[in-house]
Amino acid sequence: MKFECVNWNQTEDYVTHFWRQNVAQMWTETEFPVAKDIASWNALSSDEQTAFKRVLAGLTGLDTHQADDGMPLIALHTQDLRKKAVLSFMAMMEQIHAKSYSHIFTTLLPSEESRFLLEEWAPNNRHLRFKGDIIVSRYRKLLTPNPSRYDVYMAHVMSVFLESFLFYSGFYYPLYLAGTSRMTTSGEIIRKILLDESIHGVYVGYLAQEIREELTEDERQRADAEMYELLEQLYANEAEYTQEIYGAIGLVEDVDNYVRYNGNKALMALGFEPYFEHEPFSSIVLNALDTSTKTHDFFSVKGDGYVLALNVEELRDEDFIFDDV
């Protein structure tokens, strides 16, 4: 192994742009006081609470595998040290995403119920297991010392599918509730996660397109065929999962449109044309995708327009001594 030093003193390019964007979006779950949602939570029906709990449990599992398998293994086989650094930062944020769902559960649910959702319900849900197996199996092909560039490329494709497509059936409901002025703090957390995942998908999509150029024409054709086959399998599974989660609250058709919309976004991040036809989905959720600030209580909740404070001085006793007016 050779000794290396990352060199950031290079011409500005998309890698430095994505580094800055990731750092600008840095946050942690403790900045969001989920206790503000307790009254709203208690007002939800049993079916609404069940849907909310299950989507968060499913999202936890997906973020866990993205943090533990996806980003680290893709980074391991990324030669450019700056590109690797961006992926490592993203992996750290995936851990924060996974912890954020537990932050919500800790506030709203008894610990035994949280344990059941995260240790029994989600790991045993056949739809979650199906998509987890497909994604992680592609990731773990990179555990070999010298995986083929084809396998490295397909791991990137799976990462983009996860970041830009498969998370979104879970994101839908917290965004929908927040858009109707319910569970708004939890909705802020989901919006922060969504903003992260959106740039993760685009960044890994750029890397994937570069790797695809290295493949032979036969490999590209094989990769494209495998990609569309996997897309169809994952979408069929996602449609069944959507029926299971949202059937009792009457949102299946709208969520399905939202899923297809995001499937097309994943393909576009990889450099392909849209594949799915879809109808317009809820304007409530569409408005939640707006990246302008939703929260203006700067002393308690971090909104999407939050600016990190730098060079902060500690308060001193003399700061509270005022001249008489």
- Residue keyed to tokens 């750290």: 92
* Angle between the N-to-C axes of helices 184-214 and 168-179, in degrees from 0 to 180, rounded to the nearest 10: 150
Q: Count of CB atoms within 10 A of residue 144's CB?
A: 10
Torsion of CA 53, 58, 63, 65, to 10 degrees: 140
- List the structure tokens of 319: 């700061």
Name 58's Cβ contacts closer than 8 Å, sequence gap at least 6.
122, 125, 128, 170, 241, 245
Of the candidates 168, 173, 175, 199, which has an alpha carbon nearest to the alpha carbon of residue 261? Answer: 168
Say if CB 178 and CB 187 are below 8 A apart: yes
Q: How far apart are CA 189 and CA 98, in angstroms?
A: 11
DSSP code of residue 2: -
Of the candidates 131, 123, 135, which has an alpha carbon nearest to the alpha carbon of residue 240? Answer: 131
Q: How far apart are CA 171 and CA 259, in angstroms?
A: 10
Catalytic residue check, 101: yes
Say if CB 179 and CB 285 are below 8 A apart: yes
Catalytic residue (choose from 101, 168, 206, 258): 101
Catalytic residues: 101
